Amino acid sequence: MSTDIQSILNKLGINASNAAYSTGSNWGVELNANTLESFSPVDGKLIASAKVASAADYDAVVHKAQEAFTAWRTVPAPKRGEIVRQFGDALRENKDALGTLVSYEMGKSLQEGFGEVQEMIDICDFAVGLSRQLYGLTMHSERPSHRMYEQWHPLGIVGIISAFNFPVAVWSWNTALALVCGNVCIWKPSEKTPLTAIACQHIIAKVFKDNDIAEGVCNLVLGDREVGELMTNDGRIPLISATGSTRMGKAVGAAVGARLGKSLLELGGNNAIIISEHADLDMSLIGAVFGAVGTAGQRCTSTRRLIIHESVYDAFTAKLVKAYGQLRIGDPLDQNNHVGPLIDTDAVAAYLDSIAKCKEEGGNFVVEGGVLSGDAYISGCYVKPCIAEVQNDFKIVQHETFAPILYLIKYKTLDEAIALQNAVPQGLSSAIMTLNLREAEQFLSAKGSDCGIANVNIGTSGAEIGGAFGGEKETGGGRESGSDAWRAYMRRQTNTINYSNTLPLAQGIKFDL
Ligand code: UN1
């Protein structure tokens, strides 16, 4: 490998063996029994290891966070924004190193690794402006000489549980917003990508230290499901923001709901692009192929289904098959390659299992899948993106497989295409490729796509941070990132102030003493 990973690890403060938690500049020193080992899916090598936080470690972090909150909530929001501005600058300085580590630890292409860090920088810029725009409404009171308004206050500790596929960007969407809103954060990253999380923690901790802000505003806790369960059941954490599978989200939602906490869930997608008879097929090809094979099909926004009009079905399928024949699969750090590895061999097993199930149900593979072998694929995590002709109601098509498997479905009328697009349990992202205004507007209307994201002449993945990001149905209903998603990180308080000499009751009620 030409990239010098060791110097990148050194630059980002990652040792061969790392502590289980951090409250900022302080890293837990307790040597716990359990260790997380991070192997690169790129070449199968052990990159470094980290300890797993114990329940006691976790508790120490929560105490630190509670203490930090008492001070952080009193810092004026624009001043908190200034800290986030500096964090964005620190990310700019570290973009190459962090983007490369994302690519090496997670396996996405280097371009996408850099794109992920850019997404972090973008949300910082957004949050800086937001820090001066945490607006509440004012209302007219029904009583004379009374004033009513609402204001937004921070919640306290925001627990962030993130997934391996966007190991750093999703954390920063949550963190940048949570911080300007006056919250403190505890982050449990995926156990599959602890090192990129450690790198981020070093970067943000330095910003806090340089500004003489006490420990505990941004905290990291490494661990597996048990640590996640400590967080979801913990009444000291008013908001849990969790990204991952629908199965995981149902468990998180139930645990947080049982204690009447708030949860913000970003779960599975089963995203489709409708390729209309009025589509620009060349543009559609780029959207479809990037959507299906980008991040090796491991985005929650990845394109899983193409719903293609019968009149262009054969022509578009031929284009797809040709394009798949040109895909270069291999080391994601080599920018000549389009597709890197899956995250691990469990993901490879799930990919193979889905292909087998699809065949059992009658799927017809027009591009065959398979696992690649040989020296260039030594990790055993490289698979061939594949394409199958299916029916939308196949069980496997209803299920989200985190792998580059693309399903083709034929349609006759737009109503039918929209019904097919909506006929899955998930509701994250959707798109239509058409140059016909009536079709586009119907797709976006109340009788169109039922997803949180609906695009025209753009694929399903690659949303910008400025919009609210999230989806309906089994995607969990949460909205993160832009627009007014910040409200989820705050509590609303309605204030009524009486500046008269009497105390009139609302609704005209008489109560004289
Ligand atoms: C995810 O896959 O969890 O829209 C997030 C996109 C990216 C974010 C994906 N901006 O594809």
Give CA–CA dist 431/276, Å, rounded: 11
What is the model's pTM? 0.97
Cβ–ligand 1 distance for 271 under 6 Å, the answer no
Quick one: fold of 3-267+476-492? Aldehyde Dehydrogenase; Chain A, domain 1 (3.40.605)
Element (H, E) at 410: strand 405-411
385 in Cβ contact with 358 (< 8 Å): no
Tokens representing 78 are: 């624009």
Q: What is the pLDDT of residue 32?
A: 66
Is the shortest distance between the CB of 295 and ligand 1 below 6 Å? no
pLDDT digits (tens, 9 = 90+) for 49-59: 999 999 999 99
CATH class of segment(s) 271-465: alpha beta
In degrees to the nearest 10, what's the CA dihedral of 265, 267, 270, 276?
Answer: 40
**Would you say the C-alpha torsion 47, 248, 467, 453 has a positive or negative sign?**
positive
Q: Closest residue (by CA) to atom 3 of ligand 1?
A: 300
φ/ψ (deg, to 5) at 47:
-85, -50
- Out of 166, 273, 293, mutate this one to test ligand 1's pocket (max ligand atoms within 8 Å of CB): namely 166
Is the minimum distance from the CB of 462 to ligand 1 under 6 angstroms?
yes
Cα-flanking dihedrals φ and ψ of residue 266, to 5°?
-125, 100
Cα–Cα distance measured from residue 146 to residue 431, given in angstroms and rounded to the nearest whole number:
49
Q: Is 162 in the pocket of ligand 1 (CB under 6 A)?
A: no
Whether the per-residue pLDDT at 1 is higher than 70: the answer is no
User: Quick one: pLDDT band at residue 3, thresholds 50, 70, 90?
Assistant: confident
Give yes or no on whether 3-267+476-492 and 271-465 have one common fold. Answer: no
Query: What DSSP designation does 375 have?
Result: G
- Cα(119) to ligand 1 centroid in Å equals 10
CA 106 / ligand 1 centre spacing (Å): 14
298 CA: nearest ligand 1 atom: 2
SS3 508: helix
Q: What is the pLDDT of residues 184-230, one digit of tens each?
A: 999 999 999 999 999 999 999 999 999 999 999 999 999 989 999 99
DSSP H helices, 181-243, are 194-210, 225-232
Is residue 127 classed as helix, strand or coil in its secondary structure? helix
Verify whether ligand 1 is closer than 6 Å to residue 301 (CB atom): yes
Atom of ligand 1 nearest to the CA of 302: 11
Position in ligand 1 atom list of the atom nearest CA 461? 11
Q: For the segment 235-276, what is each residue's pLDDT rounded down to a tens digit? A: 999 999 999 999 999 999 999 999 999 999 999 999 999 999
- Which DSSP symbol is given to 40? -
Catalytic residues: 266
Closest CA to 341 of 486, 164, 218: 164
Helix (H, G, I), strand (E, B) or coil at 345: helix
Q: Which atom belonging to ligand 1 lies closest to the Cα atom of 243?
A: 3
What was the pLDDT predicted at 2?
Answer: 57
Residue 451 φ then ψ, to 5°: -90, 165
Summary count for the chain: helices (H), strands (E)? 14, 23
Contact 260/241 with Cβ under 8 angstroms? no
User: If you measure from the C-alpha of residue 54 to the centroid of ligand 1, how many angstroms do you get, rounded to a whole number?
Assistant: 31
| Ligand 1 center–CA 295 separation, angstroms | 10
User: Where are the domains positioned within the chain?
Assistant: 3-267+476-492, 271-465
Query: Best of 102, 301, 453 to mutate for ligand 1, by most ligand atoms within 8 A of CB?
Result: 301
Residue 31 has pLDDT above 90, yes or no: no
Q: What per-residue confidence (pLDDT) applies to 502?
A: 96
Percent of the chain with pLDDT over 90: 97
**Pocket perturbation via mutation, ligand 1, pick of 299, 430, 479 by most ligand atoms within 8 A of CB:** 299
